Structure 1
């Protein structure tokens, strides 16, 4: 398994930044997994400078971002120029006020991850959790899921073309999602999920999902505020990468709020990634 790795300056130059905290916390597990990392220039240099992940299974230096490193990652997520180039996902520690997070190559990299059903992990909490996911699926550990989710709030959000897919996901993993202390969602998706829950025997009239406004009317912004207040721990957001979205600014606001809460919040952006997390979350070591 091989992942791309990128960290904005905020996260790679500070000793308490996401890159250093993740690498120190997960170094042993990264070695256990044999996880290969293809790190963009400055990120690679920061790891070497901090003497982190030295001797890891495969730590490869790519060109810096200005030299096309992120562009190359986007190609590799799509399959690259040969089978040997393909990557399985990306960990990208984003500083929400760094303008490069809105550069075309960054947006294209994320879009290719969503299209191909590969993880695009943008927070420290998410990167730590994803290592645990891969360990569990490899039969080398468990996620500690039950203890954590009983205290957590999860947001369930889907664009129009994927609302039915979200209902199917929730139906398949209803017991799993019901373990969360609270579920929240934007208007229409939340309504569909409540109808599902009532059909599954959830107490009539008691919302399974606490509904906020629809996304275009401000629901994404409302959930972003909960994220910033550390009152939403996980966002499962089924994004449709194939259509122009009139409320793109609201979607980016929510995503950037998640990145601002990097040590406290995780986000999964595609059904394939969410399914992989759900599969790992039922495993016990």
Structure 2
């Protein structure tokens, strides 16, 4: 069965030969073709791909309207199952320029929210896009691509583990299930209560009692998200696993957006996973690669 992904990129990411969209295609085109991924691609992004020739002759590149004509809105609608039974998307890749005003338009926010709500990947960075094609390949039982090996060299990376209140128990369960994998990271960081609960879990598994498994920063409302955003910007944190609750308003929404924006600024060196379903799939695939 073919995978179906919505695809869009802000102008920054397709306005030059070395832009992120083309870097992704140079790294991942073979995997896209191998998996026969259908890419439902918004107007200008589709134009840029066609001009590049990087997917020349590929039937899975499917044009959607320009953003101003509702292209992004159509991507949002296709994340969910249509009343006519049209298969939904398996996720969305939206390479975001954090200073482009369109990145905070309602349709952009809705695309992310619906992906999280339905447990599908919302990928907004170059590193995340390269990584996810490889995750899909390995999940299909294909042999890992050796050219991506350094991306999964976890012992040189830091991962942030963060969860909103309603999802803290799911974060602890995720970390417990994938404890060996997460322990391979050079460092784990987190915010407030989530870090305390993760450390309790790790100590129950035999992690040395005098050593925190997760380095705790402040709680999110008190600035923890901003502290981790600084780590990302300084390239001292490469992965953010942030279980977001899409159904409640957060008093510190600006801090959450700051962290997400930091990941998108360092687009080729950081990625973010925002739901438990996606995180489990990522962890299972990466475990097979190592």
Match of 1:98 in 2: 100
Match of 1:82 in 2: 84
Helix, strand or coil for the counterpart of 1:75?
Answer: helix
Match of 2:166 in 1: 161
Q: Distance in 1 between matches of 2:69 and 2:82?
A: 17
User: Displacement, 1:284?
Assistant: 4.1
The question of whether the paired residues in 1 share the 8 Å contact of 2:4 and 2:39 is answered with yes
Match of 1:62 in 2: 64
Cα deviations by residue, 1:5-28 (Å, 9 ceiling, x for unpaired):
000000011222110100111111
Question: Structure 1: which 5+ residue stretches go unaligned?
Answer: none
Match of 1:40 in 2: 42
Cα RMSD of the aligned pairs, angstroms, is 1.4
Question: Structure 2: which 5+ residue stretches go unaligned?
Answer: none
Helix, strand or coil for the counterpart of 2:156?
Answer: coil
Helix, strand or coil for the counterpart of 1:155?
Answer: strand
The question of whether the paired residues in 2 share the 8 Å contact of 1:145 and 1:281 is answered with no
Pick from 191, 214, 229: which aligns with 2:196?
191
Matched, 1:256 2:261: yes
Match of 2:236 in 1: 231
User: Displacement, 1:29?
Assistant: 1.1
User: Displacement, 1:147?
Assistant: 5.7
Helix, strand or coil for the counterpart of 2:89?
Answer: coil
Q: Number of residues paired by the alignment?
A: 285
Q: Distance in 2 between matches of 1:186 and 1:6?
A: 31
Helix, strand or coil for the counterpart of 2:288?
Answer: coil
Matched, 1:3 2:8: no
The question of whether the paired residues in 1 share the 8 Å contact of 2:152 and 2:286 is answered with no
The question of whether the paired residues in 1 share the 8 Å contact of 2:156 and 2:186 is answered with yes
